[in-house]
Structure 1
């Protein structure tokens, strides 16, 4: 026979990823201690507001609150939870046992287990959204500073992993700034949909809570700092799913940023590099290595969060008025996704804060491959004299000359046009960055607008 888990038993297998990279604040939101405290807080709020409406006496509510402050025997709690399948029955029994015999015991009066656990989940998700806001703000500020500092730092823009047209580092980073501004707005907008009290009783009809159920819900919600709702969401998990999807979007943005750093720090490119330090990113066998370990961690954390979150749509398939296994998916996935996403955002901000920009490497790379990155710019410059299609053909043939004969693109274009053609000066990379600086200004203005 298997022994039930005890309070001292490890809850999760060892994870090297989360051992090395963690956001302590988000971890605390989903800790065992916080979960138990939130369940008790919901039970106390229920009793206190029932007393305010006259359903319990003041003495009964005070007794529940006082009993909830007593130490909970976790070994007993988890042993009973393993037997029952849920922790609230054991928790309620522990609180009830601490109420004096002289006071009638009506803890958990009219509520059901999922009411307590979902309301506690709403408390956790509220604080998790707040922590994600803080992390988005921190990352956004670092990226905004980078955007402002390098709005005019010209570098190769790349499409399909190849050089395309010139851009600026500021314009590249501004895209992330604007994206984080949208994420920030999404987090704010989602709060009233996600942090919602759950207090509807066994089948969702509030029958055991009496005719004042709506008023009771509103009062409990206000006491706990949650939104009220008069339609049960025991099996309507769109709010939980929305939280998971927000995490997925944040994780994806962090991973894209990290991938950019990894790619641009390649030896052959060398335009960006992470902060240096003694043995930071070192190899056990190759002494020269300085691996982009911060960015690698972001990718690992983000990809894992995204993979776990794919289970949440299945958890939202629960039928009738109560789930039969789907709910349990959330118990594991939501804390993991939240903590992994938070750690990814935290690590990403640290990467950006320590980022080294090599503007000289960017200039060298603009000249790579004979300066072919200027092909579109030359075509546009020649189009008034030659026509757009003829200009395209001339530059296309010139590009082949660059690759076959080792010419620069400017040399090949002038040769193709002939000595008699008066094509004038051709643009430099810094002349062909379009609205790059305006993009930076717009993104920064958006970010700085609350």
Structure 2
């Protein structure tokens, strides 16, 4: 839970995702607890566990307008948990009779976990909308630059030619996989928790299974016959998906940072006056969205360890691990949502310089074509001898500051193999392999995806 006493960091003041901040806000956190209490009363009223009229009155009283937040948090600090004070405040707005039926047979974690399930599912649903938008933008970029040749780089050095479309396509495919993970996590976290003090739901009486199923239906959650309140893989899955989404975006951001270096200058973030400006160096246009994403991903990566630690909760109730979630879950959701915001900004206004990409293919004497020319010669010399010949030519090209073609002719002449050299060496545009197919496949797979099916509460919810 996020309270007014736990403000977001400076980062969130100018880059925090509004949807995630709202979902995990003070008001919405309290409202989810009240929604669960109201659903519990209604389900119990329908099952005859409590009087139906009392149930209606309880549900009507479960509104944030009836909650004094300052008093609630003061009580929570003393009790250690917020539901004790919440129930007392709701009860104060009810007459004698129904005031004794609020929270009937439930325990604190029943309410908080079911409320958290609502928040996590809403959080993931909001992220799926962002992923859809981001993927659509990048799929369009990949298509636009399907055949735009650029240097491929391995170990930070030029390797073989590729296309910018293929470079973006692999990110599109990664986002597609992330949407699949998110959809699975959505179903995992969308689960009711209502098993009472020790996990047997004894206090609910003989109608417990029926009541729990109805509560789940009213809230739009999945029912379960097995408690999960001390088996926090449900929470861990949420954390994992958020962290890996941040990681996927950090890969994109790192590429943008590297490609926008002055020495490379192939791809840049969107531009507007003073975006990425320096307080002292007038020429600077820093890749600020990429930097934010990388920073958020680093934080999410470190925070992920909390989600595996909370799985240590022992026996039938955690003794400390549960409390770690109260900060970790909303922070992780907001990190992922905020990183997606910044990635959408990048994708929506990315500036690409195809001419610079073409020019950079000639950097280092055009040695990026060494493999291509090795493959050309391998049909006559065999791969190993061709490799040795190109290795020697590459070394000579660097030593003399000449092109690879010039150096190769000199090396071939020395070895008496000039007659094996082709009249025309293969060009970067002719050595793209499956780049075009990669773009087509990634874009087609992305377009074939269906949006997340968001489950809404029952009609009475």
Give the structure-2-normalised TM-score.
0.94
Contact 2:24 2:119 in 1 (8 A): yes
SS of the residue corresponding to residue 239 of structure 2 reads helix
Query: Residue 425 of structure 2 aligns with which residue?
Result: 426
Matched pairs, number: 443
Contact 1:60 1:105 in 2 (8 A): no
Query: Residue 209 of structure 1 aligns with which residue?
Result: 204
Query: Residue 308 of structure 1 aligns with which residue?
Result: 303
Give the CA deviation at 1:39. Answer: 0.4
Q: Is structure 2 residue 94 aligned with structure 1 residue 95?
A: no
Q: Is structure 2 residue 173 aligned with structure 1 residue 178?
A: yes
Query: Residue 435 of structure 1 aligns with which residue?
Result: 434
1:416 to 398, 404, 411: 411
Query: Residue 25 of structure 2 aligns with which residue?
Result: 31
- CA 1:13–1:199 in 2, change beyond 3 Å: closer, same or farther? closer
Q: Which stretch shifts more, 70-79 or 95-104?
A: 95-104
- CA 1:146–1:305 in 2, change beyond 3 Å: closer, same or farther? same
2:49 to 46, 55, 80: 55
Contact 1:38 1:120 in 2 (8 A): yes
Alignment deviations for residues 70-111 of structure 1 (CA, whole Å, 9 cap, x no partner): 521111111111110000010101111111126562010110
Alignment deviations for residues 220-243 of structure 1 (CA, whole Å, 9 cap, x no partner): 101100011111111000010000
C-alpha separation between the residues in 1 aligned to 2:228 and 2:97?
37
Query: Residue 3 of structure 1 aligns with which residue?
Result: none
C-alpha separation between the residues in 2 aligned to 1:198 and 1:103?
23
Query: Residue 271 of structure 1 aligns with which residue?
Result: 266
Q: Is structure 2 residue 186 aligned with structure 1 residue 187?
A: no
C-alpha separation between the residues in 2 aligned to 1:208 and 1:102?
19
Give the CA deviation at 1:445. Answer: 0.9
Give the CA deviation at 1:415. Answer: 2.2
Query: Residue 382 of structure 2 aligns with which residue?
Result: 387
Q: Which stretch shifts more, 18-27 or 370-379?
A: 18-27
SS of the residue corresponding to residue 316 of structure 1 reads helix
C-alpha separation between the residues in 2 aligned to 1:211 and 1:12?
41
Alignment deviations for residues 253-273 of structure 1 (CA, whole Å, 9 cap, x no partner): 011110100000000000011
Q: Is structure 2 residue 15 aligned with structure 1 residue 21?
A: yes
Query: Residue 152 of structure 2 aligns with which residue?
Result: 157
C-alpha separation between the residues in 1 aligned to 2:233 and 2:97?
44
Give the CA deviation at 1:190. Answer: 1.9
SS of the residue corresponding to residue 392 of structure 1 reads helix
Gap runs ≥5 in structure 2? 450-461
Contact 1:68 1:95 in 2 (8 A): yes
Query: Residue 107 of structure 1 aligns with which residue?
Result: 102
2:38 to 9, 26, 44: 44
C-alpha separation between the residues in 2 aligned to 1:302 and 1:225?
31
Query: Residue 296 of structure 1 aligns with which residue?
Result: 291
- CA 1:421–1:316 in 2, change beyond 3 Å: closer, same or farther? closer
Q: Which stretch shifts more, 374-383 or 424-433?
A: 424-433
C-alpha separation between the residues in 1 aligned to 2:228 and 2:317?
10
Query: Residue 445 of structure 1 aligns with which residue?
Result: 444
Query: Residue 374 of structure 1 aligns with which residue?
Result: 369
C-alpha separation between the residues in 1 aligned to 2:221 and 2:141?
37
SS of the residue corresponding to residue 109 of structure 1 reads coil
Q: Which stretch shifts more, 98-107 or 280-289?
A: 98-107
SS of the residue corresponding to residue 167 of structure 1 reads strand
Alignment deviations for residues 160-183 of structure 1 (CA, whole Å, 9 cap, x no partner): 000000000010111100011011
Give the CA deviation at 1:424. Answer: 2.7
C-alpha separation between the residues in 2 aligned to 1:346 and 1:137?
12
C-alpha separation between the residues in 2 aligned to 1:226 and 1:333?
22
Root-mean-square deviation (CA), in Å? Answer: 1.4
Q: Which stretch shifts more, 218-227 or 409-418?
A: 409-418
Give the CA deviation at 1:420. Answer: 4.0
C-alpha separation between the residues in 2 aligned to 1:34 and 1:295?
30
Contact 1:17 1:301 in 2 (8 A): no
Gap runs ≥5 in structure 1? 1-6
C-alpha separation between the residues in 1 aligned to 2:364 and 2:98?
86
C-alpha separation between the residues in 2 aligned to 1:77 and 1:26?
23
C-alpha separation between the residues in 2 aligned to 1:237 and 1:411?
64
Give the CA deviation at 1:209. Answer: 0.7
Q: Which stretch shifts more, 419-428 or 310-319?
A: 419-428
